[in-house]
Structure 1
């Protein structure tokens, strides 16, 4: 980036996705003065591990995501409320994400990979891949094209916006070209994850698990990390100017 990054947008499929995949990175951004916004495609209504009534799950998970975001200094959240488990990279979803991109006007977008990560298949939930594909299509070409979804401009006054760079989380290892030292922000990441009580309260080993995954990243992508760094989150950073 030749220009300063002052606004970033995170687009993920479910509440807690950003916190498992990139909370340490988001915490470092907000600490640096970057205004971060979230766009959640679903409200996680198909998630959970206990007997919480399905009718209550979406509202509960939205509240948990707001609490988790607050731990990282994020207060601007948009929930698109697509059905959990049924996300496809449809034109409607591309339009809805383009709307958020045009409203936020981010210098950086972070989203999920549209590719399969065969080593850790849980990273490649179909909703994750569909969200990544739709977001990348919103970044290019939709949000920057004034003739795409003309109603966004005509009815809502949302002018076209080109996103200079896009960060992709959960990508196959051969795609990773950037890591972030999240040692200084681990406590914020853990606080955000613990806010998702409906997803994490049963995991006594949560911090140990997360540390092991981040340390494994450090080993795998050692060439990208500075000396002395212990824990990293890994991304594919793409020039989308």
Structure 2
């Protein structure tokens, strides 16, 4: 059975908020799409639950966190994103629950996006059956983001966001787009942003040094090019960044 063709992502929006667990998650997931969006004048903000401080075995978290934060900001700048925020949840043990939902809902109220982007929230990467087990952080942040898109618009969920922080409810999220899904429904042409996505991932110098023995540029180019080519047959032959799109309105 042939997989269905992917629909183009909606483009009638102005602001997006991308919510992930760690530095480099967006660079592995969808930065080619982000580059194209910022080229078109759209405003994209990055929100990271942690600083990725537990991600490098040879560097203690107290040193690793600030280092990875700097690399994330440099990486975001390559694709036209200047606003990068960190929630400060502890890397590796991020918990799904009200505290995480509240923090993400607060960010949605602050930034008022029409499009919210997150990373695969399911148990596995790759095929639905036989894929690789995902990490607790990815599952927690993806699920909390999907829920927080609704929380942000309900004044009676986390009322302290209004009474203590002055954040008015925002019910303007029209879609939540999940990158890295094994069941994408929509896609963005990766061609205009592909080179910048490679350079963006390369900004994570320290992480790449311990991740692979390959030349960093070769590694980044091979990984990202391979990913976007996989979806080309389902998107008119164009290399594509896929998303599973959940409409909210």
Query: What TM-score, normalized by structure 2, do the two folds share?
Result: 0.87
Instruction: Specify the SS of the correspondent of 1:42.
Output: coil
C-alpha RMSD of matched pairs (Å)? 1.9
Counterpart among 49, 54, 59 of residue 41 in structure 1:
49
How many residue pairs get matched? 231
Whole-angstrom CA distance in 2 between matches of 1:77 and 1:206: 22
Instruction: Specify the SS of the correspondent of 1:73.
Output: coil
Question: Corresponding residue for 1:215?
Answer: 229
Is the contact between residue 34 and residue 193 of structure 2 (CA under 8 Å) also seen in structure 1? no
Whole-angstrom CA distance in 1 between matches of 2:11 and 2:94: 34
Question: For 1:48-127, what aligned pairs fall within 5 Å after superposition?
Answer: 48=56, 51-119=58-126, 121=131, 124-127=134-137
Structure 1's unaligned 5+ residue stretches are: none
Report whether the alignment pairs 1:167 with 2:177: yes
Whole-angstrom CA distance in 2 between matches of 1:44 and 1:113: 17
Question: Corresponding residue for 2:139?
Answer: 129
Counterpart among 167, 187, 193 of residue 195 in structure 2:
187
Choose between structure 1 and 2: higher helix proportion.
1
Structure 2's unaligned 5+ residue stretches are: 1-8
Q: CA deviation at 1:75?
A: 1.0
Question: For 1:142-181, what aligned pairs fall within 5 Å after superposition?
Answer: 142-162=151-171, 163-172=173-182, 175-181=183-189
Q: Deviations over 1:72-131 (max 9, x none)?
A: 111111101111110121100000000000000001000122212353755822211110
Whole-angstrom CA distance in 2 between matches of 1:123 and 1:21: 16
Report whether the alignment pairs 1:12 with 2:20: yes
Is the contact between residue 167 and residue 236 of structure 1 (CA under 8 Å) also seen in structure 2? yes
